[in-house]
Amino acid sequence: MTSTDNDRVILVDEADGETGTLDKLEAHRRGVLHRALSVILADADGNLLLQRRADGKYHSGGLWTNTCCSHPRPGEPVMVAAARRLEEEMGIACGLVPLFAVHYRAPVSNGLIENEFVHVAGGRFDGTPRPNPSEVAAWRWDKPEAIRRDVAADPERYSVWFRKYLDEFGREIGRLAAGAGEGLTQG
């Protein structure tokens, strides 16, 4: 069986320069550095939209995380991929802006390794998500302070990457929740 572009990730160097492509599962088995994306949405009341990953996901199933996480396809710009995946996972179409980028490497479930250069986008959304049940088991809106308290009390309920975002980019996430991204298009 051959991989399609949908099954491949973009391999990158430490500066996010493209170096090739690899089957997504193989990249996670070997822990090869590749490009990824995340989306964090906030509503007008300063709540963040979280999802609980479907139990059947290839790793980190059942964990709470940010609104959407994925990988761009080869040749696909990151922000285009972020909008596409947000609609596929959560049934949401809204404007997005880049928030920050981060590299992390960490073991995750099923013997896999995340080694990702992640581009994190933010947006404003005040509607009701329509998640894909094969991607998302549950969703909730919550205040950043309440999320931080819950992560501190029970970190294993949350994805390793979302915990990193909260630890290292809390200020940027807080500004998003507080409405600092006034130029964002609402959904």
Q: Is 167 exposed, middle or buried (0-12, 13-18, 19+ CB in 10 A)?
A: exposed
Closest by alpha carbon to 147, among 132, 129, 165? 165
Q: What is the DSSP string of 79-138?
A: HHHHHHHHHHHH-----EEEEEEEEEEEE-STT-EEEEEEEEEEEE--S-----TTTEEE
Planar angle of CA 88, 39, 97, nearest 5 degrees: 110
In which residue are the tokens 């991607």 written?
135
Residue type, 161: W
Options 89, 114, 116, 135, the catalytic residue: 116
> Cα–chain-centroid distance for residue 49?
11
In which residue are the tokens 């949405």 written?
41
168: annotated active-site residue: no
69: annotated active-site residue: yes
Options 68, 69, 94, 135, the catalytic residue: 69
> Could you list the active site residues?
69, 116
